[in-house]
Amino acid sequence: MNNIRLIVSGGGTGGHIFPALSIANAVKAKCPDSEILFVGAENRMEMQRVPAAGYRIIGLPVSGFDRKHLLKNIAVLWRLMKSRRKARRIIRDFRPHVAVGVGGYASGPTLKEAGAMGIPTLLQEQNSYAGVTNKLLAKQADCICVAYEGMERFFPKDKIKLTGNPVRQNLLEASITHDDAVRTFGLDPTKKTILIVGGSLGARTLNESMLQAWDTLGKSDVQFIWQTGKYYHEQITAQLRGRELPNVHVCDFISSMDAAYAAADLVISRAGAGSISEFCLLGKAVILVPSPNVAEDHQTKNALALVDKAAALYVKDADATAKLVALALDTVEDEGKLAQLRTNILTLAFHHSAEVIADEVIALAMKYRKMRDIIG
């Protein structure tokens, strides 16, 4: 009786896809017979990631607005109209009891049409500065799950639920020890270790900061696990050929992030909402370097939300090549500073976020089913 039909829409980046999959998995765990359909954007990351996780997905021909070349938006508007028509057909065929939007291009037309057809909708906003799509959808949404305090700046206060961001479950279930984790990267467990991660594609500024400080790294007793990202890896390995350092493990991608986090005494990262939620739950000391290439500069706002509580350090992207590595080397040797950062970031963690959001989703679906049964 508790089986529900759920549409989950959004994507474009891992920061949207991981929460979407976590919510779907949590709903499935609570209601095993539920039917879940994802709606994404054609040719975006979700069209591969979602089927790999075992769920069906349909793509919409939607794309984002080009803020620099306004004339190109004529085609964007045409694709948006086509997407709304296709979303309407999907909703009619699937007959969902509830629709969830996690941000990204596809969630706009999907959630807009679901709301117009009387389907209850739930939004999940990962960032401390709300995305354009979620702000536009907020008025008709039944529930808005957020990860930061003060989100009534963007959304109706009575609809907000402070739940935190769902994170990858395998990170929380990891049992690997610090020493074993360090050894998996061919490094020495007795030495301090810094993890540098710039996402699956990589972050140019983080990579340039490492290259600029290469001679300094060679003289240091600190170890580094450096994820360059697939986009930059070949170029970087060519630059470093013959200059490799035994205390720096260089790789394009880290498949075992649980081991990487367990090995790290300090993390250097961009300030994506999903990553920050992971750092909070794992209690990692972190230096955040927000990407300047994101909408509304939301990564800087994410970072400052932690810095204001002395839960992270922050370096501007423009200052990173000059300051980042020196700050990291000073910080990792300062046990008092590391302990303070770990303690403070743990206080910002939200536990069981996916399960809490799933409860909200199921409640909306059951209320809709009950109302529909009464109407007949």
Q: Are 12 and 44 in contact (CB under 8 A)?
A: yes
- Average pLDDT per consecutive 10 residues, the chain (376 residues; last block may be shorter): 87 82 95 96 88 94 66 74 93 97 91 96 94 92 95 96 87 86 96 90 90 94 94 90 94 90 97 92 96 86 94 97 97 97 96 96 95 75
What confidence score (pLDDT) does residue 3 get?
Answer: 83
Which pLDDT does position 8 carry in this prediction? Answer: 97
User: Which domains are seen in the chain, by residue range?
Assistant: 5-165+351-375 (3.40.50.2000), 170-346 (3.40.50.2000)
pLDDT given at position 118? 96
Total-model pTM? 0.85
Q: What is the pLDDT of residue 68?
A: 62
